[in-house]
Amino acid sequence: MSFGRLEKPAGHQPMSDINVTPLVDVMLVLLVIFIITAPLMASRLELELPQTTSPAAGAASEPEAFVSLSVDAKGQIFWDEQPIDNEALFLRLQQTARINPATELQLRADTAVPYGRVVQLIGMSQAAGLSRIGFVADPATGGAQSPAR
């Protein structure tokens, strides 16, 4: 009487295919992460500006014709130590440019003056026809100074 076969059952066969679905899922997640972070890494800008002390300007470096323009901490503009408003300043800059376009504008700005205000004055002088602009600063005392951070 025979109840079964005498052969042993084969059991599980080794898998000959590799399931790549999890690998593709992981690669797509990494791709999305790189797509998102790449622009963030490229837009970061770190600057370490050089530190220097400028030599004292001698009398020989003075331009032949110049106009002194000062801005105090409140943003008030002074033409040769006299207060002036924006409209009158633009007219005087145009008049100066008509007389001598090579006139240098010597700009003295307080450290508390916002950068935008200085840029506005530079743009106004260039629109009036003056292209030579000099920035006046006090010489550093005690050697090289490190910038404030």
CATH number at residue 118: 3.30.420.270
Residue 146 lies in a domain: no
Structural domain of residue 111, as residue ranges? 62-135
Confidence band for 51, pLDDT divided at 50, 70 and 90: very low
In the chain, the number of structural domains is: 1
Separation of alpha carbons 72 and 79, rounded Å: 12
Chain centre distance of CA 62? 31
Separation of alpha carbons 106 and 104, rounded Å: 6
Mean of pLDDT values over 9-24: 81
What average pLDDT does the chain have? 78
Mean of pLDDT values over 68-94: 88
Q: Which of 8-17, 48-57, 118-127 has the highest mean pLDDT?
A: 118-127
Residue 28 lies in a domain: no
